[in-house]
Amino acid sequence: MSTTEVVVTGLGATTPLGGDVATTWSALLEGRSGISTIEEDWTAELPVRFAGVAAEDPSTKLERHRLRRLDRTQQFSLIAAHEAWRDAGEPDVDPVRLGAAVSSGIGGILTILNQYDTFREKGWRRVSPFTVPMLMPNGPVAAVALEFGAQAGAHAAVSACASSAEAIADGIKLIRSGRADVVIAGGTEAAIHPLNLASFAAMRALSTRNDDPQGASRPFDANRDGFVMSEGAGMLVLESAEHAAARGARVYAVAAGAGYSCDAHDIVQPDPEGTGQARAILDALADADLKPGDIAHVNAHATSTPMGDVGETVAIRKALGDAAADSVAVTSTKSMTGHLLGGAGAVESIATILALHHGQIPATINIEELDPGVVVDVVREKPRELSAGAVAALNQSFGFGGHNIAVAFRRP
């Protein structure tokens, strides 16, 4: 049975590194960190006083009346989706053949917390009537579907930090199923708030390197001490190859396939053997009809936590086998962006796609001493060229709850 080929024709992002894809990508190649100290009073009582705040506030791009009825996750989504749509050449598509798959890991948590403050201080009548559509976890996908008139379906997979990789996987499936020709797919997060920093800090999941925020996100480094919370969004325009060819669209990459698994090992800790992660990688290869040797590059989930990063390299080796694993170039762009949680998979898929498209793999910054447990080749110090013969690359995203997603992109 032949499978509908799905291609990527548009990219959009708003991240701690820049308000669009071009500035984000150039910062990744320059090795620039988007992390900074939060200069607000509320950080005083917290063990973590830095984060990756979006480089461009949504208020610079959306009108005031829209800001007040959209959660920050929705604001980021719309900004990134508009960029991706323009980048794709604003495809002419029947609304019933246009879908959306947009996720957030947490949802409208800033709305929940801010409206709860309003409720306690001023009573129920002052609670915004838009509170529910702002806080619901499908709020971002609903906002995107409404904005672009996407009537084929609107899906919001929720799998913590794997959410937006799962959204992209769902977007591929939506097109393959024959229900849509074009899908806007990606994810978003906006959770920088004292309670959320306190909650992740209470798990001992965050770096506390307050004296060196830009050096705090250090995946694969022996002295890493946790991840850095960031915010923003990434969006892709996925399209059936046939639809893209008919309108002469520029194709960045083939969204060749996706793999899913669940560790069912621990609610938050990854399986140290990497078994579930390896299954997701193998599942993605099978779905994409690729061989381990086709994978030239992996954009790793690697968040800079002591447990996660090393286990992921074990999983890569387990899945690809020694010969292929020896020649794969692995990087973690979270060293520069921090961890966008539910937005991470989408922003990192964009980095993976652009690595294939431009033939340049961004380096992982802040590695002073490589963890001896790392069993793959990590790109360090400067970007590495991807050979002309390189076939494909993987984006990996894992989430609390044991969710493992791998998405395979192939050169067109």
Partner 1 sequence: MATHTEQEILAGLGEIIDEVAGVPADQVTADKSFVDDLDIDSLSMVEIAVAAQDKFGVEIPDDQLKDLKTVQDVITFIQK
| Of residues 123 and 389, the one with the C-beta less far from partner 1 | 123
Q: Which of 40, 41, 64, 267 binds partner 1 (CB under 8 A)?
A: 64
Instruction: Point out which span in 7-15, 44-52, 126-134, 352-360 binds partner 1 (CB under 8 A).
Output: 126-134
Q: Which of 40, 65, 120, 389 binds partner 1 (CB under 8 A)?
A: 65
Instruction: Point out which span in 33-41, 48-56, 58-66, 87-95 binds partner 1 (CB under 8 A).
Output: 58-66
CA–CA dist 88, 84 (Å, integer): 6
Q: With beta carbons less than 8 A apart as the criterion, state whether 332 and 379 touch.
A: no
Q: With beta carbons less than 8 A apart as the criterion, state whether 104 and 399 touch.
A: no
CB atoms inside a 10 Å sphere around CB 298? 29
Q: Which of 4, 36, 43, 128 binds partner 1 (CB under 8 A)?
A: 128
Task: Give the pairing of strands 392-399 and 295-299.
Answer: parallel
What are the residue ranges of helices labelled H in 211-340?
241-246, 275-288, 308-326, 334-337
Q: Which of 126, 204, 291, 382 binds partner 1 (CB under 8 A)?
A: 126
Subset of 274-333 contacting partner 1 (CB under 8 A): none
- Residue 129 binds partner 1, judged by CB under 8 A: yes
CA–CA dist 171, 168 (Å, integer): 5
- Tracing tokens 């170039």 back to the chain, one arrives at 329
Q: Which of 130, 262, 391, 401 binds partner 1 (CB under 8 A)?
A: 130
Instruction: Point out which span in 23-31, 52-60, 64-72, 365-373 binds partner 1 (CB under 8 A).
Output: 64-72
Q: With beta carbons less than 8 A apart as the criterion, state whether 272 and 306 touch.
A: no
Active site annotation includes 339: yes
Give the DSSP H or E segment for 384.
strand 384-385
Q: Which of 82, 193, 297, 301 is catalytic?
A: 301
| Of residues 68 and 247, the one with the C-beta less far from partner 1 | 68
CA–CA dist 369, 72 (Å, integer): 37
CB atoms inside a 10 Å sphere around CB 115? 19
Contact flags string 66-85 toward partner 1, x per CB under 8 A = x-xx----------------
- Number of residues located near partner 1, criterion CB under 8 A: 11
Active site annotation includes 161: yes
- Residue 120 binds partner 1, judged by CB under 8 A: no
C-alpha distance across the termini of the chain, in Å: 21
- Residue 176 binds partner 1, judged by CB under 8 A: no
Give the residue from 50, 375, 59, 19 showing the smallest Cα distance to 217: 50
Which residues are part of the catalytic machinery? 161, 301, 339
Residues in touch with partner 1 (CB under 8 A): 63-66, 68-69, 125-126, 128-130
